[in-house]
Structure 1
Amino acid sequence: IIYTRGADKKARLYRDLIKVTRNSLCYVEQADLALRCSGIDSGYAEWSAQVAHYQPLIEKVIEQAERRVFQGEKVPANEKIVSLFEEHTDIIVKGHRDIQYGHKLNLSTGRSGLILDVVVEKGNPADSAQFLPMLERHIEHFGVAPRQMAADGGYASTDNLQAAKALQVKDVVFHKKRGLKVEDMAQSPWVYRKLRNFRAGIEAGISCLKRAYGLSRCTWKGWAHFEAYVWSSVVAHNLALFGRLKST
């Protein structure tokens, strides 16, 4: 299907695939009925539980394929299942880059490089919509707003800048201006450059989290374990950094 050209040819292949899948579900239902009537207990309960879990997911995948391929409907991302085994997986689209699957993370860090907070997002929320909640979480955790802060260009907006200033953040710098003026963000061009460079340096920390602490790919199953995996990586990163900071 991936390498076939033409909507009509793809549709025929999808019909074949859906037919085979429906037949397989029928076989499973027949096997379930036969095993239930046979009175066999060994292993049946566990197998039946897996059937009860995966069958509705498979039927939903069939439904979304029929809506998209045969009815020409654009199925919203939050209604799609892209993984039977990790059904919580979200579709992540960043600009014009390739589509990725997983969950967005919002990280905040300080001058020391320690990760101060992390939020695992559901869905594909716009970065700009997560700026103020992350700032409010920081104030809730530490009791005071940061004196200065720098954020990725995706968080930039006039509303976010004004809201942060209203919360007593003195300098609010976004990595990309997005139509904002330097004098509105920071007290001087020098401060703007320093904070923007600080934000650029954070990319090295993110790269380290991916390469050394496993954040490029989660290997634990389920939503709760996904969150636990992210936090375990952050804690391991912070513990290692604590050791280096203490030794200096």
Structure 2
Amino acid sequence: MRAKRAPQRSLFDAGYPDHDMGRALGLMSRLLDEHPEFLEWIAADVDRGVVSSVGRRGLPCEVILRCGILKHLWQSDYRELEFVLVDSASARRFTRVDPLRPPKRSALQRCIGAVRAEVWERINRVLLGGARDDKIEAGRKVRIDSTVTETHILDPSDSQLLYDAVRVLSRLLARGREKLGPDAFLFHDHRRAAKRRKWKIPKARMKRKVKLYRELLAVVRRTLRYADGALAAVEGRDEPWIEDWRAQVVHYRELAGAVVRQTVRRVLKGETVPAEEKVVSLFEPHTDIIRKGGRRVQYGHKVNLGSGASGLVFYAVVEAGNPADSSRCLPMIERHAAIYGSAPDQVAFDGGYASKANLADAKALGVRDVVFHKKRGLKTTDMASSPRVYGRLRNFRAGMEAVVSYLKRCFGLGRCNWRGLEHFRAYVWSAVVTHNLWVIARRKLKLKPA
């Protein structure tokens, strides 16, 4: 018997697939349509002159916003996102890209990267207001904890940083000689010599290691002298390319000098260099050295997060340095009051935020129950109205671990691969906005947690 052929659907069928993901994407799209002001905010950022005049001149603001959200939702880099927009009908429908002219990776990277953290934060506040109106999240009960979002760097070592300095400066100097001519300034490429020593240092014994470090430092210092000569050679010249080239040479020359000084102090003089004085990357110099408790050292930025019973994230504060959690207790409550107009009724903190002063100050701001995961000498009755309330709030705080894990596993908050501190902040906030939009859609559809 001849098998029946399944009916063929039109290529131009509207709507999302009859699936939880499809229904959630459709509702997320409608939520974005309810706020056309988002596009005006994004347009102001894109109009700052970020978009190049070469090639595609940019993307519609609606496409930029939706592609930025889809990038986090599907955990794609820009190359994968470019393919997804060509391959997936649901992705094209959600992002509303032109199917005949899908955006290239460079256009996606340039336009999405132009949206500042402040704009993503404003979008998040509007979404929180809608969640309050829809009775999804009232913001009266809060749990607060901190985590670390890593920057996109290798685990730093002095030998790797010294080699990076030689490599980057040599590349810039070689480019300068191509433009100016071989007699413009003195330069010899020592990248191979630096690389050989960089690989030998980790395997060498201590006495041999110090000798190799001295040789590597000599190579770096010679390269720095070449950079100084190159900068002197272009002094007073006004070719179009020179300004950008000079800025890069000066930038990396300063960082290389700092790496040389910290290596001399640590390796040759045996000093302990404080974490705040260290350079751990030439490419992400804003990176902080973070150690939380007895856990491994991480390289990135500490982020303080606040969440409610719905799982929505109220705020994400990217901290400078590695401040103690106890010093961030009051600022987090004040930030919450700025969003919702008053302090919450109940707040549950991780144990690192606990102190008698923080408890008294939080109560003075109008918080009825202030619970810390570890008591640290505080009485249960001082923190909460009853032991039962204390126990419930302490269990409520434990749910923050799940929120942080969900953000890292499913929305990319564990590691930021965008370059620069401003882009780091934008990355964190865009992940939070995507997470909240997804949580609101699933709660409205009454879907099970992902």
TM-score in terms of structure 1 length: 0.90
| Long gaps (5+) in structure 2 | 1-200
Match status 1:180 vs 2:383: no
Match of 1:116 in 2: 314
| Long gaps (5+) in structure 1 | none
Let me know the Cα RMSD of the aligned residues. 2.0
- Of stretches 167-176 and 125-134 in structure 1, the one that deviates more from structure 2 is 167-176
Larger Rg over CA atoms:
2
- Please give the alpha-carbon distance, in whole angstroms, between the structure 2 residues aligned to 1:188 and 1:15: 64
Among 425, 430, 435, which residue is 1:237 paired with?
435
Match of 2:215 in 1: 16
Deviations 1:90-149 (A, max 9, x none): 110112221111000001111111111111000010010001111111112222111111
- Please give the alpha-carbon distance, in whole angstroms, between the structure 1 residues aligned to 2:389 and 2:283: 48
- Please give the alpha-carbon distance, in whole angstroms, between the structure 1 residues aligned to 2:258 and 2:216: 14
- Please give the alpha-carbon distance, in whole angstroms, between the structure 2 residues aligned to 1:176 and 1:194: 14
Does structure 1 retain, via aligned residues, the 8 Å contact 2:227–2:253?
no
- SS of 1:103 mapped into structure 2: strand
The residue type paired with residue 314 of structure 2 is: L
Q: 1:170 to 1:66 in 2, by over 3 A?
A: same
Match of 1:153 in 2: 351
> How many residues matched?
245
Q: 1:129 to 1:9 in 2, by over 3 A?
A: farther
Shift of residue 30, structure 1, vs aligned partner: 4.3
Match of 2:283 in 1: 85
- Please give the alpha-carbon distance, in whole angstroms, between the structure 1 residues aligned to 2:397 and 2:216: 48
- Please give the alpha-carbon distance, in whole angstroms, between the structure 2 residues aligned to 1:166 and 1:5: 59
- SS of 1:111 mapped into structure 2: coil
Match status 1:215 vs 2:425: no
- Please give the alpha-carbon distance, in whole angstroms, between the structure 1 residues aligned to 2:382 and 2:240: 70
- Select the structure with the greater relative contact order (CA < 8 A; seq sep ≥ 6): 2
The residue type paired with residue 22 of structure 1 is: R
Deviations 1:214-234 (A, max 9, x none): 111111111111111110000
Match of 2:396 in 1: 198
The residue type paired with residue 136 of structure 1 is: E
Match status 1:65 vs 2:65: no
The residue type paired with residue 158 of structure 1 is: K
Match status 1:56 vs 2:266: no
- SS of 1:26 mapped into structure 2: helix
Match of 2:340 in 1: 142
Match status 1:25 vs 2:224: yes
- Of stretches 234-243 and 184-193 in structure 1, the one that deviates more from structure 2 is 184-193
Percent same amino acid among aligned pairs? 57
- Please give the alpha-carbon distance, in whole angstroms, between the structure 1 residues aligned to 2:216 and 2:254: 17
